[in-house]
């Protein structure tokens, strides 16, 4: 399945997880986790799916993001690892 880091960051922000960590750092950690789970990068710097005039900030929602392909069976592991990331 295809998933973008903007979707994951949105989920983190909505659930008030890692709110003090910048999107840039989150994106790098997310990429590493996805790659460790066998996912592959499809596209970099894809425009995010929301109105880029509201709530776009380095500690809120990203303006652009990378898109990845990951096996659906790894989705639960992906979110478990992401919410438990250490910085």
pTM of the model: 0.87
In tens, the pLDDT along 43-72 reads 998 888 766 666 677 778 888 899 999 999
Q: How far apart are the first and last CA of the chain?
A: 27
- Tracing tokens 């929602």 back to the chain, one arrives at 61
Alpha-carbon distance of 52 to 62, in angstroms, equals 8
**67: buried, middle or exposed (CB in 10 Å: 19+, 13-18, 0-12)?**
middle
pLDDT reported for residue 47: 84
66 SS3 class: strand
Contact 26, 12 (CB under 8 A): yes
Q: Is the model's pLDDT at 6 over the cut of 70? A: yes
């Amino acid at each position: 399945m295809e998933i973008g880091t903007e979707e994951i960051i949105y989920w983190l922000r909505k659930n008030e997880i890692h709110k003090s960590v910048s999107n840039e750092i989150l994106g790098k950690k997310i990429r590493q986790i996805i790659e460790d789970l066998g996912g592959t990068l499809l596209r970099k710097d894809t425009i995010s799916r929301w109105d880029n005039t509201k709530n776009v900030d380095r500690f809120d929602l990203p303006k652009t993001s990378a898109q990845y392909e990951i096996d659906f069976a790894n989705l639960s592991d992906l979110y478990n690892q992401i919410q438990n990331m250490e910085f």
